[in-house]
Amino acid sequence: KQEVTQIPAALSVPEGENLVLNCSFTDSAIYNLQWFRQDPGKGLTSLLLIQSSQREQTSGRLNASLDKSSGRSTLYIAASQPGDSATYLCAVLTQGGSEKLVFGKGMKLTVNP
Amino acid sequence: EAQVTQNPRYLITVTGKKLTVTCSQNMNHEYMSWYRQDPGLGLRQIYYSMNVEVTDKGDVPEGYKVSRKEKRNFPLILESPSPNQTSLYFCASSFVGYHEQFFGPGTRLTVL
């Protein structure tokens, strides 16, 4: 059974720091991995999608990498801003026919001005 | 604008009173899915649909029903809601074939 872990559960940093958010998964048989952002009381916003054949994806200040063989992904946020404060979730799309996303429990990020 | 919409966004109801949460997408996606999000448990899949008239159970289907009569709509039905169904519900859609999934804004349901 696929399990996705995000450690730590929360992180508080001063503005301007470069951040690395970690995600690990137990079964390397995945099709892709998505990073999402969730603001309080809001829905999930897709940030980056990495296909299993890819090593990384970039969007603006965000860069996500994937090491499928070791079951790890990282989301790098450059020059963090208070507006980056949110909960970040990673999810893997597992093989098995249901196209189900298996989510980590998320990491709550607070960027202080 | 390409989007997934859900209605209502907030709902407070009482045990046993049937309700429906609607989900609609305008991206011509074949795949649609419902998740619930609970503190400490994360997001879990309830039901999914690979196309019109094709639905199947996810990890936590008990107490829920779905239908897929049209490609764009995928309503979630709670025939007899109970307090343990108090949760934040998300609808998602994508093209079939392991593509990026897009989520609706969520429906916060409270069952008293």
Reduced 3-state DSSP string for B62-73: CCCEECCCCCCE
Q: What is the pLDDT of residue B61?
A: 97
Q: What is the pLDDT of residue B20?
A: 98
> Using the beta-carbon criterion (under 8 Å), do A101 and B98 form an inter-chain contact?
no
Q: What is the pLDDT of residue A40?
A: 85
Query: Within 10 A of A10 (CB to CB), how many other CB atoms are there?
Result: 10
Residue B106: pLDDT above 90? yes
A36 vs B contacts (CB less than 8 Å): 103
- Going from the C-alpha of B25 to that of each of A34, A48, B61, B88, the distances in angstroms are 20, 20, 22, 19
Q: Does A108 touch chain B (CB under 8 A)?
A: no
Going by pLDDT thresholds of 50, 70 and 90, the confidence category of residue A96 is confident
Q: Does B101 touch chain A (CB under 8 A)?
A: yes
Q: What is the pLDDT of residue A38?
A: 95
Residue A53: pLDDT above 80? yes
User: What is the percent of chain A where pLDDT is above 90?
Assistant: 88
Q: What is the pLDDT of residue A6?
A: 97
